[in-house]
Amino acid sequence: MLEIFQYDFMIRAFMAGLMIAVIAPLIGIFLVVRRYSLMADTLAHVSLLGTAIGFLTKIYPFFTAIIVSILAAVGIEKLRASKKIMGESVLALFLSGSLALAVVIFSIVKGINVNIGSYLFGSISTVSSLDLLFILGLGLLVLTSIGLLYKGFFLISLDEELARASGIPVNLLNTILVVLAGITITLSMRVVGILLIGALMVIPVLTAFQFRRSFMLTLILSVVFSILAVTIGLFTSYYFDLASGGTIVVISLIIFLLTNILS
């Protein structure tokens, strides 16, 4: 069964997958409790635009995707905080706008051999050493930031007004959270693809919610379910020759359904 680890590309896939499995629900839980789940899908589409820009400008697409995601995340947060446009409408604006732009740019660069499918649905087996370095490095940055700022993220998630009244820098924390979400989503692009990353950020969290435990325990459980889904998903996709991104999300859904029935 462990012959899977004979191949370097599968070792890279597992390392990338496990890092994403840890950071995706850690960010996802804060988006879910703040009723901001659509943010994941929006930033995923923004990442696609960043990738397209990378192909157009011949710059490493991962890099341009991260930059564009961070800029969009800050823009979304500023618009949301200004309350000039309703929260969900801001997300719709960015989601459809960036997808449209990405489609246009990809049509311009269609002469270049670009496999858009691998960005839409993920292609974890094609994760290069440079990609892995990027995923592990930035993944560690996301993990450290959550560890350091956990209390702040918890406070703004429980009640922004209460946090603000006690002198917590709410706007700064909101901005950092969406920037971390942007980075996480871009890193996850190769693992599950932009169309499925929202699921990886949300489903393990919803699974953990069903146990009705403390916030900290819910957070830990969501990471456990996410690691379980990615590990089983990668094994299943390898041995049954299935698309890895879709398989991971389907396994995640099966775990959700099982815990739902059991609880």
Partner 1 sequence: MKQAIKAIEVKNIEVKYQNQTVLENISFSINQGDYVALIGPNGAGKTTLLKVILGLTAPTSGEIKIFGQNSKLYKRKYEVGYVPQKIAQIDTQFPVTVWEVVASGRFAKVGILKRLEKKDINKIREVMVISKIDNLKDRLLSDLSGGERQRVFIARALAGEPKILILDEPTMGVDMTAKDNFFNLLEYLNRDFGLTIIFVSHDIDAISQKAKYVLCLNRKLVCHTLSKELDKGSYLEELYGDNMKKVIHK
- Binding residues for partner 1, per CB under 8 A? 33, 35, 148-149, 151-152, 154-155, 157-159, 161-168, 208-209, 212-216, 218
Least spacing, CB of residue 156 vs partner 1, in Å: 10
Q: Is the Cβ of residue 191 or residue 221 nearer to partner 1 in the bound state? A: 221
CB 164 within 8 A of CB 170: yes
Q: Is the Cβ of residue 60 or residue 215 nearer to partner 1 in the bound state? A: 215
CB 61 within 8 A of CB 54: yes
Q: Is the Cβ of residue 135 or residue 202 nearer to partner 1 in the bound state? A: 202
Q: Is the Cβ of residue 34 or residue 78 nearer to partner 1 in the bound state? A: 34
**Which residues touch 63 (CB under 8 Å, ≥6 apart)?**
54, 134
Query: How many C-beta atoms lie closer than 10 Å to residue 197's C-beta?
Result: 29
Helices (H) and strands (E) in the chain, counts: 11, 0
Least spacing, CB of residue 119 vs partner 1, in Å: 33
CB 46 within 8 A of CB 72: yes
**Which residues touch 178 (CB under 8 Å, ≥6 apart)?**
39, 43, 73, 74, 76, 77
Least spacing, CB of residue 137 vs partner 1, in Å: 22
CB 98 within 8 A of CB 87: no
Least spacing, CB of residue 31 vs partner 1, in Å: 13
Q: How far is Cα of residue 113 from the mean position of the Cα atoms in its chain?
A: 26
Counting every residue written for the chain, the total comes to 263
Q: Is the Cβ of residue 29 or residue 248 nearer to partner 1 in the bound state? A: 29
Least spacing, CB of residue 170 vs partner 1, in Å: 10
Least spacing, CB of residue 95 vs partner 1, in Å: 24
Burial 204-221, CB ≥16 within 10 A → b, else e: bbbbbbeeeeeeeebbeb
Q: Is the Cβ of residue 152 or residue 182 nearer to partner 1 in the bound state? A: 152
